[in-house]
Structure 1
Amino acid sequence: MDPQFWMLKWQNNETGFHEPEANPNLTANIDQLSLAPGSRIFVPLCGKTLDIPWLLSKGYEVVAAELSHLAIIQLFDQLNIIPDSEKLNGVTRYDVPNFTLFGGDIFDLTADMLGKVDAIYDRAALVALPFEMRVRYAAHLREITNTAPQLLVTFDYDQQKLDGPPFSVISNEVEQHYIDHYSLTLLQGKEINLKGKVPAQENVWLLK
């Protein structure tokens, strides 16, 4: 799956993955990260998620990454603010008070560019990638965040019944990516009907 796949999704307004409010997995479980006020939270592959203004409203600083320029425009339109921007080695950095967004390929993002990260909220990044890219992504995420603790959302379903994304990421795969670097806790598992097409379990993981 190359970047063009997601660019076309946004261009064609095929954004059914976008939610009309902050994700309940975030609002119900953010305290599990035991973050101090003003902590800096990284949201990879953020789209135009309303999770970001929710985090900002709770007093957190947010840093995010997104490939689609259209998603970035719509996100800042929602925030009703025009960011400052600068080019950094193929990635564009956008800044507004308490929020920094890196526009471009997340694999071009470095630890020095990203800066300090106190926690990661991954609702839509790991599950957006096919397996080979998930292996690379998980390693890259650990590297650029210095293995910051994570709140991770995954789906477990019969992949043969529905093409991703979101892709099925079973518990054993979560362990494969992260068990050598984190203590893993399954905070909750909920039965859902994914895209209205296939039964699935939505899992929320705490990685510390």
Structure 2
Amino acid sequence: MDADFWLQRWQQGRTGFHQDRIEPMLARHWPTLGVAPGSTVLVPLCGKALDLIWLAEQGLQVMGVELSPLAAQQFFAEQGMQATQELTDYGVWWRHGQISILCADIFQVPATLIASCSACYDRAALVALPEPMRSRYAKAVYGPLPAASKSLLITVDYPQHERAGPPFAVSGDEVNTLFDPSWMQVQQLEKRDILAKEPKFLEQGVTRFETSTYALTRLPNA
């Protein structure tokens, strides 16, 4: 799962992870987090998700981080937005109104920049990474968030041996391990069986496919 893998997926148009609608779990559960209007929300591995638009409509400043410049270009073009671009030491910022996308490796984003965010929305980032990378990701992305920051995390879970990811299976037990209670409070908001709605996974022989939504609250540093 190196950078070239994802860059090639965008170049080849192999973006089955992109949704042409707002994520229902975002619209259902985000309001329960109580994130104040005007707050900055981090959206790691954002692609060209329409969720960015929805978050901005809630009065939030939206900071996406995306490896592929093509994804950022397509997002603003498809939304009819004329974005400005700024070259920084860690990537290129694309900006329009309340929405910005930083084209950079999420692992190279400065902790101070992540610390400026009050919330995080993660639908397709954690599950895009194989197991050996997920602990590093959790510490790099969620570790710098300020105390009392809120996050919405959406995962999928299935028998990993039945198909190769991405998306990768992330169990509830793993979520609780990644986000140790000494620094993160984890609350499962919803768990759903969605196998019947995922014909691709059925065709591949997957026997169980579930999605879970979590509310995460960053605690003060231990």
Same fold (TM over 0.5): yes
CA distance in 1, matches of 2:114, 2:158: 33
Distance in 2 (alpha carbons) for counterparts of 1:58 and 1:107: 28
Residue correspondences, number: 208
Determine the structure 1 residue equivalent to 2:67: 67
1:168-195 Cα offsets, whole Å, 9 max, x none, are 0011110111123111111000001244
2:215 match: 206
- The Cα of 1:34 is off from its aligned counterpart by 0.7
Give, in whole Å, the separation in 2 of the partners of 1:102 and 1:143: 19
- Residue 184 (structure 1) aligns with: 186
Structure 1 CA distance for aligned equivalents of residues 130 and 153 of structure 2: 16
Task: Please tell me whether residue 156 in structure 1 is matched to residue 165 in structure 2.
Answer: no
**1:114 Cα shift?**
4.3
Task: Structure 1: state its 5+ residue gaps.
Answer: none
State the match for 2:220 in structure 1.
none
Moved over 6 A (4+): none
CA RMSD of aligned residues (A): 1.5
SS at 2:71 equivalent: helix
Aligned to 2:40: 40
Structure-2 separation of matches of 1:118 and 1:203: 22
**1:110 and 1:144 in contact (8 A); partners too:** no
Is this contact kept in 2: 1:53–1:79, CA < 8 A? Answer: no
1:57-110 per-residue CA deviation (whole Å, 9 max, x = no partner) reads: 222110110001111111111221122222222411122211221102111101
In structure 2, how many angstroms separate the alpha carbons of the residues matched to 1:39 and 1:146? 12
Matching of residue 87 in structure 1 with residue 87 in structure 2 = yes
Provide TM-score, normalisation by structure 2. 0.89
Percent same amino acid among aligned pairs? Answer: 36
